[in-house]
A = this chain, B = another copy of it.
Amino acid sequence: MSLVIENIGQLVTLDAAEHDRPIRTDAALVIEAGRVAWVGDAAEAPAADSRIDAEGAAVIPGFVDSHSHLVFAGDRVDEFEARMAGRPYTAGGIRTTVAATRAASDDELRARLRHLVAQARAQGTTTLEIKSGYGLTVADEQRALRLAREVTDETTFLGAHVVPAEFAHDRAAYVDLVCGDMLTACAPYARWIDVFIDSGAFTVDEARRILLAGRDAGLGLRVHAGQLAADGGVALAVELGAASVDHCTHLADADVEALAASARDGAGTVATLLPLVEFSTRQPYPDARRLLDAGVAVALATDCNPGSNYSSSMPLAVALAVRELGMTPLEALAAATRGGARALRRTDVGYLEVGARGDAVILDAPDYRHLASRPGVPIVRQVLVAGEAAQ
């Protein structure tokens, strides 16, 4: 079966081979057997088995959200409200979600997860990474990844999210568990391993041990670092060849240089920025301009989670990147698609040229820049995953 999308007012291909022409006008796109088979001027479009009339709308690659935490139970909106009011709130935090998640049935977790995935899809996300990290026992972490694997191939083992309460007085034993039985149980369901480096979570030395164990188990590496301070996690991520280091809000000059050198080397380590977290925690935003000007590979993702940011909106992440991070609309869109794909070491998604997976989003707008100039508006009209209607 082949499908032609005709009457595209503006087609954002992000074709890497055509840096000077990332956008076509009056274009058409043909998807066949799940892949982009043809891109060109509308007047020359070949025939296909079915057709979509884009009615002059902009068409973009599906968003690649390379950072989310969607397997959980409970609701922390009381904590959100207290934070926004500047009130102390001691009952909150990741451990609250851990307790609720452990107590939930598979069906409860699955229903919430599928609902969140459907919401993300409706906003144009066609590739979605999902982390564990609210189980923090061997069985609960494995369960989270098993459920996540039902909805995505991009699953990440995050046993090293925080030290759970029952190990508060024996961190070393928890790190042993993560590197041992928990990793063994989780690796079959995970593509990636991740560690949260933060004063309230894990040290750089602990992270090194956990990441090396994960690498030995065949997992790719990801790191949370630099959310609240320049904590040394970026250097570790680059040293170990992690695919991505996420947050990057607080960076030393040496961190920026290391990331830029890594990007020049090819695959390297992507700096993944998560501005919805700063929106939802009222923290200063990361400086994307500094990274882009230095030659760092940058991605945008949501970090959708029940605590520090509960939004799954890639369109709003793009708008914030333009409003707050110093990115142009095209840089922001590229970071939210092609950048996310690079952060997942994927070469089949995040762009729309011949050979790419047929993941395309038809906007309810004639210009992709409306993603930035119309924040909050439901601007996604239709989502295709491998050429199939996704909603």
Contacts and interface: CB of A to CB of B under 8 A. Distances in A.
A21 interface: no
A376 B123 contact: yes
Contact of A282 (B75, B280, B323): B323
Nearest to A369: B77
Nearest to A328: B85
A366 B74 CA distance: 11
Q: How many copies does the complex hold?
A: 2
A329 interface: yes
Given A75-B366, A369-B81, A279 B328 contact: no
Interface string A303-318: 0000000111101110
A362 interface: no
A378 B375 contact: no
Interface residues of A, number: 37
B123 A377 contact: yes
Residue of A312, A313, A317, A328 most packed against chain B (CB within 10 A): A313
A369 B319 CA distance: 22
Given A119-B378, A279-B323, A323-B279, A373 B77 contact: yes
A319 B313 CA distance: 13
Contact of A378 (B122, B317, B323, B370): B122
B84 A316 contact: no
A283 to B, nearest CB: 11
Nearest to A378: B378
A276 interface: yes
A343 interface: no
Contacts of A122: 378
A246 interface: no
A311 B376 CA distance: 7
A310 B374 contact: yes
A315 B313 CA distance: 13
Contacts of A374: 310-313
A311 B377 CA distance: 6
B329 A373 contact: no
A245 B377 CA distance: 25
Interface string A136-148: 0000000000000
Given A279-B323, A282-B323, A377 B312 contact: yes
A369 B80 contact: yes
Contacts of A376: 123, 276, 311, 313, 315-317, 319, 375-376
Given A80-B369, A328-B85, A372-B80, A377 B119 contact: yes
Contact of A84 (B77, B84, B282, B322): B322
B373 A80 contact: yes
The 9 closest A-B pairs by CB, nearest first: A313-B376, A316-B376, A80-B373, A378-B378, A77-B369, A310-B374, A310-B373, A311-B374, A311-B375
Given A282-B323, A378-B378, 5 more contacts: A84-B322, A276-B376, A311-B374, A313-B376, A316-B376
8 contacts: A81-B328, A279-B375, A280-B323, A311-B375, A315-B376, A316-B375, A316-B376, A376-B376
Interface of A: 75, 77, 80-81, 84-85, 119, 122-123, 276, 279-280, 282, 310-313, 315-317, 319, 322-323, 328-329, 364, 366-367, 369-370, 372-378
